[in-house]
Every structure is written in C-alpha cells, then in structure tokens.
Amino acid sequence: MSIVKSFSVGNGDMFYIKHGSDNFSVIDCCYDSDDDWQSQLDEIANQSYGKGITRFISTHPDNDHIKGLRDYNARFGIVNFYCVKNEATKADETDDFKEYKKLRDGDKAFYLYGGCSRKWMNQQCDERGSAGINCLWPDRENKHFKDALEKAKSGESPNNISPILTYGIGKTKFMWLGDIETDFLENIENDVSFSHIDVVFAPHHGRKSGRLPKSVLDKITPHIIVVGEASSSDLTYYSEYNTITQNSSGDITFDCDGDKIRIYVENFNYSVDFLSSEQCGNSLGKYIETLFLD
C-alpha cells in the first residue's frame, strides 16, 4: 500500500510518494501562498516520519518547480537530490535557483538518465525494499537532449531537460514528464520505452504546449490523465480520455492498494463519472470512488 499526492499549487507542481517500503519521495516543490506552504511542509514532515530513505526529485529548475526549495532544504536537510545532470543558467537567479545549483553540483546529487539504477530507488536488499521509481528518459547521447542541455546552459527554457519517471507498486503505475514540450516529445518518442500507465500527470501542467501526442497515448493507454493548473484557455482537456482536472479538484490523493486505487480530492463538490464505488472513509479528502485495475 502506498500514497501518491499531487498538491494544488496554482501554476506549478509538487508531489510526494509515501511508499509501502521504507522510502519517501518528493517530486518538485512549489506553493501558492505562505499559509499553504507551511501546511504542505507540515504534511510532508508527518507523512515522511519514520521513513529511513527520503529523496527529493527535481524535474527541472524553473521557478514553478523549485519555488520554496531553499526553505524545504533548511527544514528537512536534503540528503538525496535527484536531477538530470545539467548546467542550466538563469539571467536573474532567485534564492531557490541558487539552492538548486548548490544541490545539483554538490555531493548529495544523483543524476537521472534512462535505465539508471540505485539503492533504493529501484533496487532492494535485505535491509529495505525498493521505492519502485524508474527513469525512462533521458538518453544522454540523444541529439535532441543534447540540444536541450545547451539551450538550458545558455539561459533558455530548461523544460526539455525534464526526465520521464515512473512509479510502480503492484499493478499500479504512475508517470511524470515534468514540463517536456510536445514537439520535443514527438522527436524522442521512438527512443523511449513507453508502456501502459494507469495515471499520467500531463506535461507542462496540462498546457497545449505539452500536449501528449496521440502516438504516445496509444502506447501508454492511460486509465486517468491528470490535467494541471494552467489557465483554462491554455489547457488540453484530453476529451477522449478519463481525466481529473486539478484546477477544479484541488489536491489529489491516490491511495494505492494492490489492484485498486482509491482517489480523494480537496474540493468536496468535485466528482467524476468513470470510477467505481466502494465503502471508504474520507480522511484523505472527498472520496471520488475507486479505479479497479485489470
């Protein structure tokens, strides 16, 4: 059993995974208000309590994915910092970007690439189990990726240096693609070993600029696409797929238990019509029913 949570942080991303093993992972950080930020940090402190291995995964260093990183590190003391190896620069460096560079270039960094392996990211031993996190991309020798690294180094957008990550527990599989843009994904899709995913978080907060190509969707055959919190006029709504739209739902919590995922949201007025009901409490938010897996 594990918990995957997507915080509602406005135009940004922040997730955590409370693994069934002795692991706890945070993917990106951002906040909408100071009060929300303190609440998010308190929740992470409570949920990660007692876990032997904690890690922070940074998809890329745009402010809407690292806002609050300095505060986060000051409170928790990041001992495992995961990112793609890069030399991204910014013309105007925020304190959080400076913190990112310190972590990225320091001795606590582990660099992500397609097929990478590490205790206890995706390896287990007698001491503790695996976190079930795998990295499908980048291919460090790929021309398009190298071009993206050079653009980020020269101060252009780092969106396309984002890794493609999966988390699997039992029959359940989640996917994150950071802010990878559609045209970049179209260029690299044949170099990525895509397979079925139960829940995918749409790239670039669900924006049209990060729309998942149909050819990729045909490979991952998602049960649910989570559409982020960009302006509604900028969103791709994936009308042919089952979706949860975070603009409306607020925080989303996925309670993964064997062959099913119970789903809870922050907004008690939010509902969907593609899930199945079972008897559940609402301690994690409003229960909007369960995804039963094949």
- pLDDT band at 279; cut points 50, 70, 90: confident
Does the pLDDT at position 185 exceed 80? yes
Q: In terms of DSSP H, where are the helices of the chain?
A: 34-48, 63-66, 69-76, 95-104, 143-153, 182-188, 214-220, 246-249
Does the pLDDT at position 98 exceed 90? yes
Confidence (pTM): 0.97
Which residues, including other chains, have CB under 8 Å from residue 216's CB and lie 6 or more apart?
A: 185, 189, 194
Residue-wise pLDDT tens digits, 32-62: 999 999 999 999 999 999 999 999 999 999 9
CA 219 to chain centre: 19
Both structure tokens of 195: 């397979």
pLDDT score for 247: 94
Say what percent of the chain tops pLDDT 70.
100
Q: Is 224 exposed, middle or buried (0-12, 13-18, 19+ CB in 10 A)?
A: buried
Strands, E, within the chain: which ranges?
Answer: 2-6, 15-18, 23-27, 53-57, 81-83, 109-111, 133-137, 164-169, 172-176, 199-201, 224-227, 243-245, 252-257, 260-265, 286-292
Nearest to 223 by CA among 270, 282, 276: 276
Rounded Cα distance between 4 and 266, Å, is: 14
pLDDT score for 126: 86
Does the pLDDT at position 177 exceed 80? yes
**Helix 69-76 with 95-104: angle, nearest 10 deg:** 60
Both structure tokens of 259: 């062959």
Residue-wise pLDDT tens digits, 113-157: 999 999 999 999 888 999 999 999 999 999 999 999 999 999 999
Does the pLDDT at position 292 exceed 90? yes
Does the pLDDT at position 213 exceed 90? yes
Mean of the pLDDT values across residues 237-260?
96
Q: In terms of DSSP H, where are the helices of 59-126?
A: 63-66, 69-76, 95-104
Using DSSP's 3-state secondary structure scheme, residue 113 falls into coil
The count of domains in the chain is 1
Range with the lowest mean pLDDT among 81-85, 136-140, 192-196, 228-232?
228-232
Rounded Cα distance between 202 and 31, Å, is: 19
Rounded Cα distance between 174 and 260, Å, is: 13
Which residues, including other chains, have CB under 8 Å from residue 255's CB and lie 6 or more apart?
A: 1, 3, 261, 262, 263, 264, 284
Rounded Cα distance between 250 and 115, Å, is: 33
What CATH number corresponds to the domain at position 113? 3.60.15.10
- pLDDT band at 230; cut points 50, 70, 90: confident
What is the 8-class DSSP label of residue 119? B
Q: Domain containing 54: what range?
A: 2-292
